[in-house]
Amino acid sequence: MIPFIAKVYSWNESRNAGNRKTNLDGASRDYLLNPHFMTDITTNATYGSNLKYSENFLDRREGLSSLIINKTPAQIITYANTVATSNTITLKIHPHNNPDKTAVSTVIQWANIVLADRYNPNPGNHCWVVYLEGAFKRKEVLVNNSIEDIMGLVRGNATTSTFTSVHNFFSHNYELTNNIM
């Protein structure tokens, strides 16, 4: 499973309504998304896919967001069936989310990356990354990497595999067979 960059046309969430919402009038926003957090993927004839996205599937109390993205279900399955060469990546995280402070190289499990969003003042060199650090610890950090950099770090020399249980992250078997340490 590897993350991918998608144009998100609509992001409706129960958690912070309005924070990531985009309009369906043609406006979109690029996000790095992780198929590990997706379920209920269906075809959207106009845009690509409708899906449910969990920002913390480890916390059963977390509500699911509804997204409309520019990738088809077949493309999402291809990303889900692709294996990265490593379980970890090194991100350059700015202390206290201050881009003026020297970034610190920090190793994290890429499978725990929920999403990455461009940093508006400098989108080519920085982005916001949300990742999980345990079941109840969700971190949002400013990194000295673009979303394309992060995607490249995870992909490395990725290869396609046969991964069958993509969309049922609430089942016990899924967590056992796809737990990346």
**Two tokens, residue 1:** 């499973």
Q: 126-163: per-residue pLDDT in tens? A: 999 999 887 678 899 999 999 999 888 887 744 443 33
Q: 13-47: per-residue pLDDT in tens? A: 766 545 555 444 557 889 999 998 899 999 999 99
Q: What's the full length of the chain, in residues? A: 181
- Put residue 75 in one of left, alpha, beta given phi > 0 → left and psi -120 to 50 → alpha: alpha
- For residue 167, name the pLDDT band (cuts at 50, 70, 90): very low
Contact call for residues 130 and 139 (beta carbons, < 8 A): yes
Give every CB contact of residue 16 below 8 A, 6+ residues apart in sequence.
none
> Whole-prediction pTM value?
0.78
Average pLDDT over residues 97-107: 93
**Distance from first CA to last CA of the chain, Å, rounded?**
14
Per-residue confidence (pLDDT) for residue 164, from 0 to 100: 34
Q: ∠ CA 88-156-74 to the nearest 5 degrees?
A: 100
Per-residue confidence (pLDDT) for residue 153, from 0 to 100: 86
Average pLDDT over residues 115-135: 86
Per-residue confidence (pLDDT) for residue 28, from 0 to 100: 84
Average pLDDT over residues 65-91: 91
